Amino acid sequence: MQKTTNSQKTPSLLQSFIPIIFLIILLSLNVIIWGDATLDGSNQIALLLAAAVGTVISFTLGAGWEKTRDEIVKTIGKAMPAILILLLIGALSGTWLLSGVIPAFIYYGLNVLHPSIFLFATVIISSLISLATGSSWSTIATIGVALLGIGHAMGINDSITAGAIISGAYFGDKMSPLSDTTNLAPAMAGTDLYTHIRYMMYTTVPSMGLTLIIFFVLGFTNNYSTNTQEILDVQKAIAETFNITPWLFLVPIFLILIIIKKVKPIPAMLLGTLVGGIFGIIFQPDIITQISGVTTNYAEASYKSIMQAMYGSIEISTANESINDLFGTSGMSGMLNTIWLILSAMVFGGVMESNGMLKKITKSVMKKVTSSGSLIASTAASCIFFNATASDQYISIVVPGRMYSKAFKEKGLKPEVLSRTLEDAGTVTSVLIPWNTGGATQAKVLGVATVDYIPYAFFNLISPLMTVLVAYLNYKIRRIQPKDINTNINNPKQIVS
């Protein structure tokens, strides 16, 4: 018979760390044995085994299986929107390749972007697109993939380009009123959206400024192994394979416009995918025929090629073998290993949440807090910790947001101080953890391993350090005034999207 909640014992700090230590050991072994192929299954099994260890400890504490199972199901449910978006990203990348959108970005980008300013421009372009759409994931999967192709053609290391793309995309996501995390953080802290965005500028603008300076210097100090003839050869190969026309840019413009009009990400991505397929039918009849293998019936060829681009693998060969890897996608099916990883991570996070282990670790951290600076630093560290253990950026915002709100109030800090910290350390660091939904997704979309782009994701690395530095300098740290004493900082109804 299942014991009641009241009979369940609280885990010790040592017990709480056992599943995490076990997971770290397995993940380390996986890297040693499988290298960059850990996403093929070994990391997923490691997460599930670590969850099993946590479950055994839960049983020794008196927790029943039903409670643990229910929490796992609840946690997986929270990840379902991300999983659906991931599937649609796979489909969208397929139809945007089929239609020539991504090749067009590469073709025209080579005309206007010189290698010396390419990285600097990549950060700005990714920032603007992500700011307009509110989605780092959509930005990276569309414009980001195209920018990666341009950088590849210029001879720039893919890891550096990926770092620039991710830096810009997460800046825009973090500052956009359309972003889910930008709405979630103030909701958890109890402030309003635009107060939150304005207050983030004190840490976000300096972080982005340093990021742009670094990429500007990198652009002018590196000797890229490319020349004008190589770029011309790449453009020629693209033009011979695809029908390149500025009309293709109507597809990304359409996607940006409907997101600005507050169409939700999932239907917006689906519409962007379908419009990409329609443009493929109109502008790329040769590609349609090549992919489908049907030469007698164009309607059948169109249906078959678009469906294949959305669900499976397509490869389009050009006369230039050095860029052929850029023109292949795996559709929704290519995202299944990543989804498997996310599901496994959610199982682990659900177990750790259900038995109180994550809460125990965070409470232990709170005992070390003595000042406003140390409180903000502890909150930032907790966000990163939850990104690494619960493997989801939403958990890294929600759990610390709930747990630290009372402590911020007791220290006399306004709720926007908490909401900013949640974004500075939670939203942007998820992409730095290989088994987190953010890290796993972007590594898959860009084809660059998380550990390879981490050193160059400067904005994501600088942001949590900046929020801690500003806290210890006591710069623009807003404190509750006497008239604010009765303000309810735990009101979750501020969320607007």
Tokens matching residue 234? 């790449």
Q: Would you say residue 340 lies in a domain?
A: no
Tell me what pLDDT residue 162 has.
Answer: 95
Q: How many CA atoms lie within 13 A of 158 on its CB side?
A: 17
Q: Which helix (H) or strand (E) holds 315?
A: strand 314-315
What's at 188, amino acid-wise? M
Q: Which helix (H) or strand (E) holds 93?
A: helix 65-99
Query: pTM here?
Result: 0.70
140's CB contacts (< 8 A; 6+ apart) are 126, 165, 166, 169, 442, 445, 446
Q: Would you say residue 320 lies in a domain?
A: yes
Report residue 60 CA to chain centroid gap: 36
Q: Would you say residue 19 lies in a domain?
A: no
For residue 291, CA distances in Å to 280, 302, 333, 403, 461 come to 11, 9, 17, 53, 41
In angstroms, rounded to a whole number, what is the distance separating the alpha carbons of residues 158 and 155?
9
Segment 212-226, tens digit of pLDDT: 999 999 988 876 655
Tokens matching residue 418? 């908490």
Q: Which helix (H) or strand (E) holds 329?
A: strand 328-329
In angstroms, rounded to a whole number, what is the distance separating the alpha carbons of residues 338 and 491?
35
Tokens matching residue 59? 């049983």
Q: What is the pLDDT along the chain (497 residues), one digit of tens a residue?
A: 344 445 778 898 888 889 988 987 887 788 678 765 777 788 889 889 999 999 999 888 887 888 888 888 988 887 787 788 778 878 988 898 899 988 888 788 777 777 888 899 899 988 887 876 677 887 888 778 888 888 888 888 899 999 999 999 999 889 887 677 887 788 778 888 778 888 999 999 999 999 999 999 998 887 665 556 767 787 888 899 999 999 999 998 898 888 778 787 788 889 999 999 999 999 999 999 999 999 899 999 999 999 999 999 988 888 877 677 778 788 899 888 878 877 887 888 888 888 888 778 767 777 777 788 888 998 998 889 888 876 777 778 877 877 777 778 878 888 899 999 999 999 899 999 988 878 888 898 888 989 999 999 999 999 999 999 999 998 888 887 665 555 444 444 433 32
Contacts 24+ apart (CB under 8 A), 14-20: 15/57, 15/61, 15/357, 16/356, 16/357, 16/358, 16/360, 16/361, 17/361, 18/53, 18/54, 18/57, 19/50, 19/51, 19/53, 19/54, 19/57, 19/348, 19/351, 19/352, 19/357, 20/50, 20/352, 20/389
Q: Would you say residue 298 lies in a domain?
A: yes
In angstroms, rounded to a whole number, what is the distance separating the alpha carbons of residues 299 and 380?
55
For residue 413, CA distances in Å to 348, 416, 451 come to 33, 8, 36
Q: Would you say residue 231 lies in a domain?
A: yes
Give the structural domain span for 259: 80-333
Q: Would you say residue 399 lies in a domain?
A: no
Q: Would you say residue 260 lies in a domain?
A: yes
Positive or negative, the CA dihedral 461, 260, 89, 123 is: negative
Number of neighbouring beta carbons within 10 Å of residue 65: 11
Phi and psi, residue 329, nearest 5°:
-135, 165
Q: How many domains does the chain fold into?
A: 1
Q: Would you say residue 363 lies in a domain?
A: no
Segment 9-65, tens digit of pLDDT: 889 888 888 998 898 788 778 867 876 577 778 888 988 999 999 999 988 888 788
